[in-house]
Each structure stands twice: as C-alpha cells, then as structure tokens.
C-alpha cells in the first residue's frame, strides 16, 4: 500500500455526510477485492496455459505490488480527482475484461505463425520456420500476462490516492484519519476478494471471471457518476462510455469463454475436442485422426502439460503397476495415490484385488473419467471409458477426494494396511507437490504398507532430470525403504523412470528376479523387459553421493526438477 500526499483544498470543503462516507469506503473495499482478483486471474492464466503456476503467481503479485506503488505516485499528476477516478475505473474495467482474451489470441497466433508461413510458402512439414525472430516473438508473447499485470497494477495503485483526495475535498474533518480509514476498507475488501476467488471464481471459466470482476469496476464508476455528477467534467460523455463498456462486458461474458478457449486450442498441435476447468486445474483433451481404420489418438493435458496419450499410456501404466504387484506378497488391498483418470487402476484390477482405494484431490477429474459430462463429445466419452476399462465404477474401488498429504493421515487413523501402494502423482514442479515427495510423506506411507508389500513412485525422467530422479530414491531410503529404480521409454514422454521400494526382506529387484514369468499377461510388458529396466548406463549414478534427499520443507527436489528440465531441455519453466 502507498502513502498519499493530501493537500487541503483552497476552498472550504463541505461537511461529508455519513452516506457519502460509507459509499466511498464501500467503493474502495469493492475495488480492493477486484484488484486482488485481477492478480489471481492473470497469474492463474499464465500458470495454466504456460505451466509453472507457482512462479507465475509469485512473479505476478510482485510486479503488481511494485506497479501499484508507482501508480500511487503517478496519481499526484491527476488534477481532478473526481473526473480522474471515473476515467480510471472505465479504463480498468476495459483492460481487466480484455486482458485474458487478448493474451490468449496473441499467444495462440504466435504458435500458429510458423504453420501459416509454411502453408503460404508451400514448405514441407519438416521445414517449419521456427527459432530466430519467430521464436523470439513466441517467447515474448508468453510474458504478455505480466505486461497486463503491470498496466493494471499502475491503475489500481491510483485508486486509493484518488479516493482519499475525494474524501478530503468533501470534508476536512477526515484529514487526520483519511488514510487509515481507506486502507482499512482496502484490506477488508482484499480479504473478501480472496474469499470470492477461492470460493467461487476458481470454479468458473477464467474469461467469465474476468468479465464479472470488471463489471464491479464499471459499477463503481456508475455509482460515482450518479452521486457526484456536478463535480465531474463531461459526465454525459463518461456515462456514455460506461454504457458502451457495459455492452462489451455482456458480449465478453456470453461469448468470451468460447473465444478464449478457441485461442487456447491453437497451442496444441492436435485438434482440441474438449476442455474443462476444474477447481484445481485446466483439463484439455486433444484428438488426432490417423485414418486407415486406425482409432484416433486421444491425449489429456493438465495445465498445458501432457498427462497421457492413448497410443502409449499402456506402456507407462504397465511399468508403474505390474512390477509393484509382482514384487508384493499379496494383492488383496491396494492403495493408489493420484491416478484420477483410472488408467493405472485398470491395470491394478487385473490382479483381482479385494479392495482398491484411490486417493486423488481433484473430484472434477475423477468424475470426468467415471461418468463423463454430457457436453463431452460422445466419441471421447467412449474412448475414455474404454481406456480405463470403466475401472472407477468397479464396486471394489473406493475413491477418496482429498489432499494426499492429509488424506493418508486419515487412512493411518483407521489402522488399515495395504499390500501394495502406487504413487502416480504429477512431477514435483510445484512447492505443494514437493511435500508429496518428501521423507515425511514416505514415512507416512510406510505406516500404511504391509511389511512384505511394495511401493512404487513415478519419479520423472532419468534422462532429462537425473538429479531429481535420483533424489526420489534417496528420499525413500531416508524414510527407511530399500529402494531400486527402473526405467523404460514411453514415446510420448521419452525415457521415464520409477522408484520401487520395500520395507523388509528382499529388495524388489531380487524379488522380481525370482519369477519365471509375470503373473499377468500383458501385450507390452515381459519379464525380460522388467529385468532389463533395472539396468542403467555405467556412469549414471556416479554423482549420486552429491545429490540430497528431499526432506520436508527443503524444496530440494523441486529445485532439482526445475534445474534439470531447464538445463537438459532448454525449457523456460518460469
């Protein structure tokens, strides 16, 4: 927040009535809530479309706070606080409502530009003009949300000084407590805005949320014009502008979500056939037609990152599930953490367990793969239920929608023990996910596992993120497990790895080596592939002693993951 310089008006101010005072403070509280929501909207959009949600949030909030400070200083240059405030809210409403849509259009067009040029010039598909100026334009477009953040921050920062000057000009008795009273309304309004974001706006389309937020800025302008008409220059013109922007907001609220999604769809090489925003993440399904009687290839992206492709998901899930259960003495009770799409669950059910518990935070994701939405294309619904074998509706399956870190505590309290545990969580690319790869979390899982059971954790790519991969194993070892690691190529992901752990007896590799055949017949997985998966290049673990385990609160694995993927893939995760 910013200090404001309050210069008494030359003319003797009139006494400020209680109605006007409450009105101004109410407006300030509403605008504070809007300002906070704009921060969340822009950072959330940047994170969902471009990845690295936590980095986007921290960067956006920091930029907007600095910009608000600069805006507070800039407000001194506005001579007429009454007219300036009305113009300001009109501009904030317009920019706030259009920021997401324009950003989506620019980023989507930037991704399509190489294809447009190639088609225009008749270039073959393997000679798309990428890199150079086009690559620079694509990279710059990713920073557009932050440009909007700075612009909106500058304008939001002007609001408190202008309201303070309006109050002062109406009554000098508020001079002493002017700033404190306004800041109080500002803080309370920001808190209410945060509650509205968490409780309501997270569950609706982001462009609709932007239009709704902008409508309150516009409403503040309408109320201000109506109450202080005589003190505003050219009020009729400004009122007309407010009505025009009202029409724009109505159009954006009705059609904006569809337009924004169409622009977002340009980011994917395959055709986007369905998209849905849950409370926690953005889900995008793509379809690639192959012809020649071959079924389409469907893929799921979460926050812009590939989660699975129907063409090879069976490889990933076979390596995730079957070595785990083959290394376990029994298969009666199995716990799956993550895996809300039910694809791993399908493989687990092939072992005929008596009971399977699936713990996944996102009820929206699980429900989509359990009973697809009616607005999902029928062919996609059939394909998803075929992929997971309708496993989520199996009577042996109990689904618990809870945060894994807290959810396992509730399971521990029941005294239940599982014969096998499969941890199928996203990579630790977020501080909140990092704790689910910590020594403390693995100690919790050890309490849930039978002494002769096995536990497997998906452990990112040993090729692209070797330090992160090895750190997972060292963390499991720190928690008291005997750990082995294995890997295999999954074409959609590249080389991928898993860590398999036991709490007593032989380690998993030696248990599997005793088998003469896999208990489950699989179209891809063989015992020879399982045995060979434990082999790594001769120098792979040469620097393992330098790699640290991921102790709770250290964020060690999170930093390894970001560093590895950035260095080995050239990715900008920020």
Q: List, by residue number, the catalytic residues.
A: 424
Collect all residues with Cβ–Cβ distance below 8 Å to 368 and sequence separation of at least 6.
276, 283, 376, 384
What lies within 8 Å, CB to CB, of 309 at 6+ separation is 297, 298, 299, 492
- Residues 223 and 167: their CA atoms lie apart, in Å, by 15
Backbone angles phi, psi at 352, to 5 degrees: 55, 55
Neighbours of 571 (CB within 10 A): 14
State phi, psi for 110 to the nearest 5 degrees. -60, -35
CA dist 70 and 74 (Å) reads 6
Please enumerate in sequence order all residues whose Cβ is within 8 A of that of 328, keeping only pairs 6 or more positions apart, or say none. Answer: 419, 420, 450, 452, 453, 454
What are the residues whose beta carbons fall under 8 Å from the beta carbon of 16, sequence distance 6 or more? 167, 170, 171, 173, 174
Q: What burial class does residue 66 get, using C-beta atoms within 10 Å of its C-beta: 0-12 exposed, 13-18 middle, 19+ buried?
A: middle
Taking Cα atoms as reference points, which of 286, 301, 282, 255 lies closest to residue 377? 286
The dihedral formed by the CA atoms of 22, 26, 32 and 37, expressed in degrees to the nearest 10: 170
Contact 296, 288 (CB under 8 A): yes
Distance CA 233, CA 393 (A): 65
Q: How far apart (Å, rounded) are the C-alpha atoms in residues 54 and 435? A: 14
Smallest CA-to-CA distance from 471 within 393, 574, 545 is with 545
DSSP E strands: which ranges in 381-508? 397-400, 418-424, 449-458, 482-490, 494-502
Span between the terminal Cα atoms of the chain, in Å: 26
């Amino acid at each position: 927040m910013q200090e404001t310089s309050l210069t008494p008006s030359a003319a003797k101010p009139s006494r400020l009535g209680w109605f006007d005072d409450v009105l101004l403070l109410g407006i300030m509280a509403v605008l504070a809530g809007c300002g906070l929501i704009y921060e969340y909207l822009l950072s959330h959009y940047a994170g969902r479309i471009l990845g690295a949600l936590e980095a986007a949030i921290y960067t956006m909030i920091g930029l907007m706070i600095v910009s608000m400070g600069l805006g507070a200083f800039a407000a001194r240059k506005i001579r007429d606080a009454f007219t300036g405030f009305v113009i300001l809210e009109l501009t904030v409403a317009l920019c706030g409502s259009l920021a997401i849509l324009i950003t989506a259009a620019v980023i989507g067009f930037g991704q399509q530009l190489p294809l447009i040029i190639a088609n225009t010039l008749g270039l073959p598909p393997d000679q798309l003009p990428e890199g150079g100026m086009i690559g620079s334009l694509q990279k710059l477009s990713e920073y557009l949300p932050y440009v909007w953040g700075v612009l909106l921050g500058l304008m939001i920062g002007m609001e408190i000084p202008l309201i303070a000057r309006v109050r002062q000009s109406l009554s000098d008795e508020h001079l002493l407590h002017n700033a404190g009273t306004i800041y109080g309304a500002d803080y309370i309004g920001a808190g209410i805005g945060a509650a509205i974001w968490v409780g309501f706006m997270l569950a609706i389309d982001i462009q609709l949320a932007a239009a709704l937020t902008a409508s309150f800025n516009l409403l503040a302008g309408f109320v201000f014009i109506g109450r202080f008409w005589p003190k505003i220059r050219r009020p009729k013109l400004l009122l007309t502008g407010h009505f025009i922007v009202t029409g724009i907001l109505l159009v954006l609220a009705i059609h904006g979500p569809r337009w924004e999604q169409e622009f977002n769809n340009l980011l994917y090489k395959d055709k986007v056939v369905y998209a849905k925003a849950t409370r926690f993440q953005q889900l995008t399904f793509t379809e690639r037609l192959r012809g020649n009687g071959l079924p389409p290839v469907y893929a799921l992206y979460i926050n812009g990152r590939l989660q699975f492709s129907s063409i090879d998901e069976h490889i990933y899930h076979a390596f995730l599930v079957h070595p785990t259960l083959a290394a376990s003495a029994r298969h009666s009770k199995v716990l799956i953490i993550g895996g809300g799409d039910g694809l791993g669950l399908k493989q687990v059910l092939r072992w005929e367990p008596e009971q399977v518990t699936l713990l996944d935070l996102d009820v929206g994701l699980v429900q989509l793969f359990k009973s697809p939405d009616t607005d999902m294309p029928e062919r996609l619904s059939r394909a998803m239920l075929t992929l997971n074998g309708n496993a989520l509706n199996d009577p042996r399956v109990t689904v618990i929608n809870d945060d894994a870190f807290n959810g396992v505590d509730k399971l521990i309290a029941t005294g239940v023990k599982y014969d096998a545990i499969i941890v199928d969580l996203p990579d630790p690319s977020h501080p909140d996910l990092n704790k689910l790869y910590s020594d403390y979390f693995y100690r919790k899982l050890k309490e849930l596992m039978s002494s002769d059971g096995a536990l497997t954790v998906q452990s990112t790519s040993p090729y692209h993120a070797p330090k992160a991969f090895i750190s997972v194993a060292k963390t499991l070892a720190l928690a008291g497990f005997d750990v082995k690691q294995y890997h295999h190529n999954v074409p959609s992901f590249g080389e991928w790895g898993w860590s398999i752990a036991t709490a007593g007896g032989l380690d998993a590799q030696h248990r599997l080596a005793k088998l003469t055949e896999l208990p489950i017949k699989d179209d891809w997985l063989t015992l020879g592939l399982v045995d060979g998966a434990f082999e790594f290049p001769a120098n792979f673990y040469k620097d393992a002693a330098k790699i640290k385990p991921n102790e709770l609160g250290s964020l060690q694995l999170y930093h390894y993951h970001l560093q590895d993927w950035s260095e080995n893939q050239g990715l900008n995760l920020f």
